[in-house]
Structure 1
């Protein structure tokens, strides 16, 4: 994330852009619907500031929830002030041109992950996860179940119970050769 506290989730609208050229981002704005997350990949490695406050203003007006870009972005303070979340490879003031067409709503590889139009993007301060659309329901159910289990575990840990016991680690550690040494007995 380019600013702390950013979160976003929604279906992906994808862009394949030429490096240093944000023309296709402008095209994608027209296709975005409320709740979408724009995901931008480049045809080759790029760190240029392909996205900033003006494009964010346009996306926000269309109800887009955030941007993930495998390139640079600029205007970080303004993005944070307007509450528009962005995850970028770099922050770079160098602007871009509008000269070479690319593609919108095609499969792309962004940050090493395959993203297809409509896949679910979930992003927060820890990073970005892409869930294939066909697995979104099962992933949401699994996430809910995990959050419930973690809430119980958190209560147990807060009450002083050890993770060694909660997770049944002691026998596996013994089998792996862990030996406890009474260091106080060794002190003379």
Structure 2
């Protein structure tokens, strides 16, 4: 890994980010072909939060949050900080003080594959955070890492400047070049879901709405009276 801080990363168009902020993670995930989801390990530590922003990445060493402090300087209004480590770590790399600094710069939230601490304070602020763990274990500031380099979270490769959406369902990343297209597809999906919701509320069964009866028949499912 190169120990580097990359500056002046291009961001997605602001209207696309504002539109994504009104769309749920599940809808965005479906709209881009069920890709970009960062997995169930990342849990919302501030329930009810829903954010969208441009990604700034930080790569730290386990138990060391030096590069998070370096990343704060590269963050701007509308960003979301994504933090990973060079090997698995659940220590509390992030807490109230870093959140205070990020909020002052207009950052929408943070996503960490590590632990976070000061959860009660984060909720009171509130500053939205998604993390793999909660841990009171503190950190040092001793080892160089990287800021604004591509990172992998699970099976998803994230580039600085990608769009990110996060809510109670988790976190999904949208490639920067695809953000506007995904907004259009997400709106189309919302319209379809609105029509389906109305039909189900009126009493139509999912078996009929989704035309599932022929599938059951092809699979050999039969009906028998009790």
Instruction: Please list every run of 5 or more consecutive structure 2 residues that lacks an aligned counterpart in the other structure.
Output: 1-43
Residue 112 of structure 1 and its aligned partner are, at CA, apart by 4.2
Instruction: Please list every run of 5 or more consecutive structure 1 residues that lacks an aligned counterpart in the other structure.
Output: 184-188
Once the two structures are superposed, what CA deviation does each residue of 1:123-152 show, in whole Å capped at 9, x if it has no partner?
000100011112111111111111110011
Aligned alpha-carbon RMSD (Å): 0.9
Does structure 1 conserve the Cα–Cα contact (< 8 Å) formed by 2:46 and 2:126?
no
User: How many matched pairs?
Assistant: 183
1:186 equivalent in structure 2? none
Which residue among 131, 140, 154 is the counterpart of 1:97?
140
Matched residues in 1 for 2:154 and 2:97: separation? 24
Residue 109 of structure 1 and its aligned partner are, at CA, apart by 1.4
1:34 equivalent in structure 2? 77
TM-score, L = length of structure 2: 0.79
2:191 equivalent in structure 1? 148
**Greater RCO (CA < 8 Å, at least 6 residues apart):** 2
Q: CA 1:164–1:143 in structure 2 vs 1: closer, same or farther (change >3 Å)?
A: same
TM-score, L = length of structure 1: 0.95
Which residue among 88, 98, 105 is the counterpart of 1:62?
105
Once the two structures are superposed, what CA deviation does each residue of 1:75-106 show, in whole Å capped at 9, x if it has no partner?
00100110100000100001100001110000
Name which of structure 1's ranges 107-116 and 126-135 shifts more when overlaid on structure 2: 107-116
Map 1:16-165 → 2, pairs under 5 A:
16-165=59-208
Name which of structure 1's ranges 3-12 and 118-127 shifts more when overlaid on structure 2: 3-12
Larger Rg: 1
Does structure 1 conserve the Cα–Cα contact (< 8 Å) formed by 2:116 and 2:133?
yes
Residue 110 of structure 1 and its aligned partner are, at CA, apart by 2.6
